[in-house]
Amino acid sequence: MACVKQHSRRQITVAIARTSTQNTPQAPDVPTTPPRPRGPPGMAQGSSEGMRRKYAQHLDADGQELLRRDQDEVELEKRELHKRATGNVSLIDVGVDASYAGQVTIGTPGQTFDVILDTGSADLWVADSQCSSSTCQSISLFTTTSSSTFSSTNQPFSITYGSGTASGVIASDTVSMAGFSVTGQTFGAVNTTSSNLISNPLSGLMGLAWKSIAQTAATPFWQSLASSGQWSNQEMGFYLQRWRGVTGVTQVEQSGGEFTMGGIDSSKYTGSVNYISIASGDTDYWRIPVQGMTVQNGSVSLSSPQAAIDTGTTLIGVPSSILSTIYANIPGSEAMSASTGYSGYYQYPCSTTVSVTLQFGGLSYSISNSDFNLGSFTRDTSMCTGAIFQMNLTRNTSVGNRTDDGDRSGNSPIQWIVGASFLKNVYSVFRYNPTAIGFAALTGNESSVTSGSASNTTSSSTGSGSGKSSSGASVREVGVLGLVISVAIAAVAGLV
């Protein structure tokens, strides 16, 4: 590597320039920095650089200048080696749009696993070979003893979801995804999980939210990459493919969409990305205010509730009071009773085509009827269940007694959770710096985005929105939202 430096690239450039200008008038000479004097190629060149480093304190002025150039070139090469424009991950769709997973590699040599990609949490964990839970019997497990770079802290790791827990030890190892790597990345090596927390082909979860809510208190994989300069663009993009309603769909579809790190995929969207800014004090969940909502063309009164934009969640969770207002706009809708096992959900006549829009950053985004209609869950097959359901959030994400849609007096920094039922209808972007969430119309679906009309609109610019954001309480105690709704709907609809 020592030979392939700026000098050899300069020689190639000059050779090409001479060839291309032989028959053209020559421009006047332009003063340039003289090329760096270099010794013989190969080992001698590397030796001279090594000697300069070794005897740096004894070098004269010329030697110090050569040493400085050595160091500059080393840093340049490091940046060029580590910096990539983008990296793409092909997603798999698990449980008919219930979860979206991508491939991660852990250890040396690398072991590969499919993990849920979850912007609603901040921890990476994977089931290891010590896992004796029933859910671990049919999935790929991480063999810690096969990795020469694995290290365990022996500190307990535990993470709680609405559907159960995963526990084990806090560990570190080399983690890679989309062509990027982080050495010594902290993660949970899980040896116990609740029944049905994960199932084949899933082996764990990759949290893509901010460090402030990480149960391990460690910097998440994505945040290490974004802050270290490995990305040329400090953002991530998601395209979630819809399989709901497709004839012959299976429980695991390999074409589930695309996750892009270090940039966005312009082929997946049309027009501009509408960025909604996030205040520096609000970097916990990826959250922005819901500025407005319509159901069946009727406006629903809101007071800018904070919504977590969550790729690890299937549906849309809202407080109980706003839930009844939403379904009041759908004729024939009714709350599902506790005796059905679906308390907190509403059903409505299957013959009704439901139109819903949510407004963010001054623009309104449509949710397709295919994503809103979950199908019939009861013996009355004329009634279908809606994708918006009751989720009252408190500090520990258990069901609390909040009855408002946006009152900031409660403990939780978020009041809504907006998952795949919405995100399948847009191209979504999560930007590290300047911090923002962005949405764009999917290619071929331009009409799904219209100008917003809510009276409490707080941002409407394309590319640099400034959505209102209020600081919330510390949320490390809030826990992880990622699988709460995914598993809830799996239990309700039998999708997984």
282 is catalytic: no
Q: Are 304 and 359 in contact (CB under 8 A)?
A: no
Comparing C-alpha atoms, which of 365, 315, 354 is closest to residue 97?
315
29 is catalytic: no
Q: Take residue 174 and report the two structure tokens written for it.
A: 């080399």
Q: Are 443 and 270 in contact (CB under 8 A)?
A: yes
Comparing C-alpha atoms, which of 191, 232, 118, 158 is closest to residue 481?
118
Q: Order across the sheet with 363-367: list the strands.
A: 298-299, 292-295, 356-360, 363-367, 449-451
- Which of the residues 128, 310, 371, 405 is marked catalytic? 310
- Which of the residues 70, 118, 284, 405 is marked catalytic? 118
**Helical packing angle, 61-82 and 43-54, nearest 10°:** 110
Rounded CA separation 223/434 (Å): 13
Q: Terminus-to-terminus CA distance in the chain, angstroms? A: 50
Q: Are 264 and 274 in contact (CB under 8 A)?
A: no
Q: Are 232 and 180 in contact (CB under 8 A)?
A: no
Comparing C-alpha atoms, which of 249, 284, 251, 244 is closest to residue 120?
284
Rounded CA separation 236/387 (Å): 26
Q: Cβ of 31: how many Cβ atoms within 10 Å?
A: 5
Catalytic residues: 118, 310
